[in-house]
Structure 1
Amino acid sequence: MFDLARFLRLARAQWSEQRRTWLWFLGVTLILHFVLLLIDVLLSDEIGRDHSFTHAGQMGIYFLGLVVTAPVFAGRYFLAMARPESAGVLLMRPASLFEKWLLAAVVVLVAYPLAYSLLFNVLNVPMALYAQAAHEALAASQPVDSRNAEILGGMDYRVFLPWQAFEEDGAFATIFLMLASAQGFAVLGSLYFRAMPFIKTVLAAFLLLLAIILSNSLVGSHGRPFLEFWGSEPLQDWRHAFLALAWFGVPGLLWLASLFALQEREVA
């Protein structure tokens, strides 16, 4: 069912055929990031006061880009399945069904977040250093007893590095599982819907999001018990088992469903 040499040949073939598409996707992501930073600089009166370039602001931009682009990339991995002429070639490759699914999981769950983090630093590090220098110059120009000096002194302009987002307990598991759920949903939609899979997946995600927001508003919890699972004092009653099942079961079931959806395509 799984052969390492065959899996590596499949990975090389996939990279040879899709590298331009993947690099273009990363390039467009980089350009959009640059445009957003440029607009923020142009609209800011003084970059030394801009909260977008603080340590927390950089972290927010990093997660926003990752949460938006990672599911889009995942939904485009099996884009060839939407075209009958290319779907047959993909399904007839000399590799097992599990190997094709596993390669998709590795590329989507591991390779893309790493590549995105690397590209994020390409733009973020120089901009953050520039903002830090502007902040120090602005703080030095303010009177010692002024209110502005107090405000500027409390702003943290350290350069944000992606691994710093996982320093808190449970942060890595929280981010990975939530992102894996979104990516698994995107992959499943791209395989389940035969016609216009991207549009239908986006529509299904929108309806699901509305349902989650509506249910949270009716219950009134606003997702707090769900996030408290990773707290320093996790729930000890039946809710702990239920939340553990939800955290690990949802992404697992979504990716397992994508495996069966790929199998249905291969059988068809």
Structure 2
Amino acid sequence: MTNKSTAFRWSRFSALARVDLAERWRSYAGLLVIALIVQMLLLAWILFVNHSPKPMQPEAQQGWYYSFLFIFGVAFCFLFHAPMQRQGSSLLALMRPASTLEKWLHAACMLVVLFPLAYTVCYLIATVPINALAALAESTRYRAEIAAATRPTPSEPIGFHVYLPLLSNADAHGDKPWKQLVYYWWYLILCGYAAFALVLFRRAAAFKAVALVFIVLILCVMVLSKGGNASVLIHWLDGRQRPSMSASAVLANLLLWLGVPLLVWCSAWLALRERDLT
């Protein structure tokens, strides 16, 4: 049993993280290996399926990175919370000597920080060598076309590029890299909602979570159909437009961009506190 007067203690939190990693590192590593193999095979097939391989452009690399981050992020959420779906393992997890806050922080760190970092390493290992080979083949083909003069003006090669999340500017229109934080905003909400649903629903959690999302989407469509300009929530992303500073616009943006992530993660904490046995 934990001392409820101390909501957070570093020794308990670090012990919880060490025990979880020692018990489940094989499962975590297995998912990362699957992510690595899937990306390597799929990218190699896409780039080298024809006789004129070309490397991915930065915009395509950005879309690739975040698409697979969402896919394997959801898979990791299910893997991380898998013990909560079985009675014996859920009791063991809920009775571990750590406070509700420490268990919640551990889940948040694993889902929002550590997994994206590990996935980024897998993404770079999977895509950089294959893109380099495609760029080399493209450069060789371009030099051969120039030498043979088979075409008056051969198309310029795409060249070799490495997309680094939040560091590379993948937008051809010159948008700032910080705008990529919107993707992480979606990922933050996705992980928070998964943590909430997989802890709250003890049976058929996946189906109930999807059903709840469907209901929420219907409600959002109904609210937006009543009027109002939804563009006020995203127009600040375009640096060419001046953001609206009206009170209603500021409040709406605060509720969306800050309130929604706080809501889903607070809901996850409340669901965990409801079931916690320490």
Q: Does 1:249 align with 2:259?
A: yes
Q: Distance in 1 between matches of 2:219 and 2:38?
A: 30
Displacement of 1:93 in angstroms is 0.6
Change in 2 beyond 3 A, CA 1:148/1:214: farther
Q: Distance in 2 between matches of 1:158 and 1:195?
A: 46
Q: CA RMSD in A?
A: 2.8
Q: Does 1:135 align with 2:138?
A: yes
Q: Does 1:149 align with 2:154?
A: yes
Q: Secondary structure at the match of 1:194?
A: coil
Largest Rg, 1 or 2: 2
Matched-pair contact (CA < 8 Å) for 1:229–1:240: no
Query: 1:187 corresponds to which residue?
Result: 195
Matched-pair contact (CA < 8 Å) for 1:101–1:259: yes
**1:262 alignment partner AA:** L
**2:139 alignment partner AA:** E
Matched-pair contact (CA < 8 Å) for 2:66–2:183: no
How many corresponding residue pairs?
262
**1:254 alignment partner AA:** V
Q: Secondary structure at the match of 2:276?
A: helix
Q: Secondary structure at the match of 1:47?
A: coil
Displacement of 1:65 in angstroms is 0.4
Change in 2 beyond 3 A, CA 1:220/1:158: farther
TM-score normalised to structure 1 length: 0.86
Identity in percent = 26
Query: 1:239 corresponds to which residue?
Result: 249
Q: Secondary structure at the match of 2:167?
A: helix
Matches within 5 A, 1:15-26: 15-26=21-32
Q: Distance in 2 between matches of 1:219 and 1:118?
A: 44
Residue of structure 1 aligned with 2:205, choices 172, 180, 197: 197
Displacement of 1:101 in angstroms is 0.4
Query: 1:43 corresponds to which residue?
Result: 49
Q: Does 1:84 align with 2:92?
A: no
Change in 2 beyond 3 A, CA 1:141/1:95: same
Matched-pair contact (CA < 8 Å) for 2:166–2:180: no
TM-score normalised to structure 2 length: 0.83
**2:76 alignment partner AA:** F
Q: Distance in 2 between matches of 1:218 and 1:124?
A: 45
Change in 2 beyond 3 A, CA 1:138/1:78: same
Q: Secondary structure at the match of 2:185?
A: helix
- The answer for unaligned runs of 5 or more in structure 2 is 1-6, 170-174
**1:198 alignment partner AA:** A
Change in 2 beyond 3 A, CA 1:205/1:31: farther
Residue of structure 1 aligned with 2:65, choices 62, 66, 89: 62
Q: Secondary structure at the match of 2:243?
A: coil
